Amino acid sequence: CLFHGFGTAKNKMKATSILEQLANEGHSDSQFWIGSCYYWARGKSVDRRMAFEWYSKSASQGNSNGQWMVGWCHYYGHGVTEDYTKAVEWYRKSAEQGNRYGQDYLGLCYQVDAGVPEDANTAVFWYRKSTEQGFRYASFNL
C-alpha cells in the first residue's frame, strides 16, 4: 500500500525499508519484492547483482517467482553470467510449481534452442500451461 499509495500516501522509501527488513528476516515474498526494487529501480538504485542475490534467496526457499527471476537473470546475464542451461533449470522449477511466467519462459527456451534442444511440442506444452492461467504473452507466443 505504501509503495503504490493505496489507502495512504505513497512512500517508496518507507515501503522498501519495510520490504528489506522482512526480507532480512527470511520472508521469501519480501526477498522477491526487494529484489525487484533493485532490478527495476523502484525505491532503490538499479543494482542487478543485488537483485540477483535477493531473487536467489527467495528461490532457495522454493518461491516460484524468485525461481522465475533467477532464471531470467541467468538468461539475460543480469547480475550474473549469462547461462541458458541455468536459466532453464530455474524456469523449470518455477514452471513445475505452476508459475505462469516460469512456464512461458521455459516454453521460450524450447522454442529458440536456449539451454535445451529446440522442441516445438514442448514449447507449445509450456505456452499452453501459461495461457490457461491467463498470461497473454504466452498466448501470443503460442
| Full domain range(s) for residue 98 | 64-142
**pLDDT in the model for residue 125:** 98
57 and 114 part of one domain: no
Rounded Cα–Cα distance for residues 141 and 38 (Å)? 28
Residue where a domain stops, chosen among 42, 61, 80 = 61
The pLDDT tens digits for 71-83 are 999 999 999 999 9
CB-CB contact of 76 with 53 (8 Å): no
**pLDDT in the model for residue 108:** 98
86 and 27 part of one domain: no
First to last CA, the chain: 35
Domain count, the chain: 2
**pLDDT in the model for residue 91:** 98
Residue where a domain stops, chosen among 35, 61, 87 = 61
71 and 44 part of one domain: no
**pLDDT in the model for residue 16:** 95
Mean of per-residue pLDDT scores for the chain: 97
CB-CB contact of 16 with 43 (8 Å): yes
Rounded Cα–Cα distance for residues 142 and 10 (Å)? 38
Residue 110, all three cell numbers? 524450447
